[in-house]
Structure 1
Amino acid sequence: MAHRTRLPPRRRGPGALVTGGSRGLGLYLARHLVERGCNVTIAARDAAELERAAHQLYEETGATVHVAVCDVRDRAAVGEMMRVVHERDGLDIVVANAGVIQVAPLEAVGPEEFTDAMETMFHGALHTSLEALPYLRGSRGRLALIGSVGGLLGVPHLLPYSCAKAAVGALAEGLHAETAAAGVSVTAVHPGLMRTGSHRQAEFGGDTSAEFGWFSAAAGAPLLSMDADRAARRIVDAVIQRRARLVLTAPAKAAQLAHGIAPGLTTRLTGLTARLLPAAPGKGPLRQGHEAGLPRHRIARRLRAWGSARNDRVARHANQREPGPRTSS
């Protein structure tokens, strides 16, 4: 399989760009692209975080990774970034990964949270795709859009995230159909829960400590979540092999299958799940995971400690050590 998961060398490149590449899944993807021989650029909004990620990748791989400070919600900025990367390395692979995770019941969010999720994840992916495609047509390149199992069915307490990721999934499928004749492949990636340490930068509303407790526990559970390094390797393999779609984790595949066969029943079951999640004490500002207080109940505190511990073990490798800006992955 090795010959199928490496790109042929080019005069400039192969060049790869990963948005949301300074930490979490994006950083793991950059690491695997470097290992496949790509000249990699990672993009995010926080310059210091990007420099730390580039230094970490250099220490691990010996490769120099370029950084680009860019807000993917700004199409003009994305266009300028694409031009610079293309002129320096060429553009053969582009991964739209930037995102934000908001965990809260519906009563604790408003239209602004939905707008923020759509602007960061859907419009960010849209801007990245539209600005990359002229270059990818020239290189017969590869584009990957990182969706989520949350975009394949509505997930309670993750509704803004689910709506944005559903739009990303539709965009990926439509782009795949419309660009195939030009030799460009578009891969829709739908991961389930992964151990990336993202619980520290995810945003929580309502009963923030309880929301953080269940989310961090689920994201760290070995049967529910996937090792992020293994997930990144499979994603890069799928992109290089020009696969149209990739769904990761057994629970995510099961949820997709159940929703496809019996969508009404699946929706009712998610409604039952919602009743088990924390009730909202009222609307207030969302807070990042590292700001969440301790749960009131002893069992909830133990659950949080257990889940957080598994995620905390990968935090350094995923560059999640310090509180970051609102974009995450």
Structure 2
Amino acid sequence: MASAVDSKTVDPKKANKFVLNNGHTMPAVGLGTYRMRDQEEVLEVVNHALAAGYRMFDTAAVYRNESFLKEAFRRLLPRYDLDRDDIFITTKLSPAEHGRPEVIKKAYANSLENLGTEYIDMYLVHFPGSARIAVDDKKNTELRHATWESMVELYDAGKVNGIGVSNFTNYHLELLMERNHGVVPAVNQVEWHPFYYQTELLDYCKANDIVLQAYCSLGGKSVSNNELLLHPSVTKIAQTLGVTNAQVLLKWARQQNVAIIPKSTNPVHIKQNISLNFEISPEDMRILNNLNKNPVKYAWDPRNVV
């Protein structure tokens, strides 16, 4: 198994780290790559991200851009005097691959080949439900357990540095923990922003040494909805602090000890999104927390998956 990320490669002024429940470290801020499906775009974005200090990159089999990242890392890591061990790569198992060990092993091997690497730092179950199965079908539960058992096999064999889940609710995590598969997820990656967050989920993850990692930190921006990003309360706090609205939303998560993977293709925003060296006051944190009174969810909804 490869060594964890070396602390000397990450500027502590730009990005903190989490020590995962298996002893490996993970940067607290990474770059999301959802909907980046052009080789040149990925190359340019990764270039700006590496220059800004990013050392974590998040992708998934269903994003269909793993091979683009492979080429970007091949060309750009030497430019910044970095090796494979200096970056942290997360990818995810597609919901279409749940259940059978041989299918999951092949899916993992495909991701390795696509990314051009000998190991992946964090491999996540992308969704608690399985493709082509109704959310209320109890097959989801057994397939989820079978999938996790196969993930544990990959981990125990030293083929992946860490395993975790994505879009899991308290219910899904509790079922997984009750079955006692021998390995607790290191990460749970979920939608998390002031319009939609679950305090009980964060509490559960902290109590069980699972890092909560946020996506959709800017609300519905990925679906062309800027209601949260341009909310008057967010704007007022940003103006007071002299930062951008996006930085306020990202810092809101970080001050709750939540990891973040903001996506941007804009060089200025890429740099800003990792520059979070300011504090939101307790009063302003309460204002942001109160935006959850009428929750708005923008991404996959796992709540009805049995």
Coarse TM-score class (shorter-chain normalised): 0.3 to 0.5
Is the helix fraction higher in 1 or 2? 1
Higher relative CO (Cα under 8 Å, sequence separation at least 6) belongs to 1
**TM-score, normalised with respect to structure 2:** 0.38
